[in-house]
């Protein structure tokens, strides 16, 4: 039996079952082992980031959203680094970001003219196309000039801008609208596509359209 198979069996014995959430069909039956961050002075990291180990034959790819079967918590797979031994992959080390929103991603699809009933005043109302109705992501208030995985003090949180960590496969575009909750609207101002493989980082602003 190979070392990769031994590690896979160990993960199944002590790890947690999860499901990969994909539009083409969910994938279940896999397990992972994870560690909670020990940085107890930084509750943001402790709450939202996990280091995990997956088996050598996992179907998970970077940018996937996975759901822990026992808790229904959802996580973004931010990276997938192979662990090598004697020129063979025996497992994968991954960083998971907790998906704290499952909102709706909308895109402008034109405008219509409306008129009030008591006046002849006309104005344009935007129309919206649903790109993804249940769009899992991590939304956070922007940190002062640093990425979320920095070792700087994370208690310093911005108050004007929000960041959205979203799978690249969703195809988010500038000027899209993200609605994390009913009546709460954000406009995608900028998109960073090369910071992480498989995950886009969007800067959000309040959407008054």
Give pLDDT tens digits for 168-206. Answer: 999 999 999 999 998 899 999 999 999 999 999 999 999
**124-149 per-position pLDDT tens digit:** 778 899 999 999 999 987 554 444 44
The pLDDT of residue 158 is 38
115-154 burial by CB neighbour count: b if 16+ within 10 A, else e? eeeeeeeeeeeeebeebbeebbbbbbebbeeeebeeeeeb
Q: What DSSP state is assigned to residue 13? A: H
The pLDDT of residue 160 is 47
Q: At residue 122, does pLDDT exceed 90?
A: no
**52-101 per-position pLDDT tens digit:** 999 999 999 999 999 999 999 999 999 999 999 999 999 999 999 999 99
CA 82 to chain centre: 21
Q: At residue 51, does pLDDT exceed 70?
A: yes
108-128 mean pLDDT: 71
Give the separation between CA 12 and CA 1, rounded to whole angstroms. Answer: 16
1: confidence class by pLDDT, cuts 50, 70, 90: low
Q: What are phi and psi of 117, to 5 degrees?
A: -75, -25
149-170 mean pLDDT: 64
Q: At residue 112, does pLDDT exceed 60?
A: yes
The pLDDT of residue 119 is 54
Domains along the chain with CATH numbers: 3-98 (2.40.10), 101-206 (2.40.10)
The pLDDT of residue 152 is 44
36: confidence class by pLDDT, cuts 50, 70, 90: confident
Give the separation between CA 43 and CA 99, rounded to whole angstroms. Answer: 16
Query: Contact, 11 vs 29, CB < 8 A?
Result: no
The pLDDT of residue 29 is 95
Residue 200: exposed, middle, or buried by beta-carbon count in 10 A (0-12, 13-18, 19+)?
Answer: buried
């Amino acid at each position: 039996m190979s070392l990769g198979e031994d590690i896979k069996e160990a993960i199944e014995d002590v790890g947690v079952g999860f499901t990969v959430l994909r539009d083409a069909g969910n994938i279940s039956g896999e397990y992972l082992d994870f560690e909670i961050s020990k940085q107890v002075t930084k509750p943001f990291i402790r709450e939202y980031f996990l280091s995990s180990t997956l088996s050598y034959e996992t179907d998970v790819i970077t940018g996937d959203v996975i759901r822990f079967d026992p808790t229904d918590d959802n996580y973004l797979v931010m990276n997938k680094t192979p662990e090598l031994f004697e020129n063979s992959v025996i497992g994968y080390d991954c960083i998971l970001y907790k998906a704290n929103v499952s909102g709706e991603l909308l895109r402008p699809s034109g405008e219509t003219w409306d008129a009030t009933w008591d006046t002849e005043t006309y104005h344009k109302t935007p129309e919206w196309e649903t790109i993804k109705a249940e769009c899992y992501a991590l939304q956070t208030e922007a940190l002062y000039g640093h990425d979320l995985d920095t070792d700087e003090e994370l208690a310093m949180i911005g108050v004007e801008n929000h960041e959205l960590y979203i799978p690249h496969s969703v195809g988010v575009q500038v000027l899209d609208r993200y609605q994390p909750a009913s009546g709460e609207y954000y406009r995608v101002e900028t998109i960073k596509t090369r910071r992480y493989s498989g995950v886009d980082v969007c800067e959000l602003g309040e959407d008054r359209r």
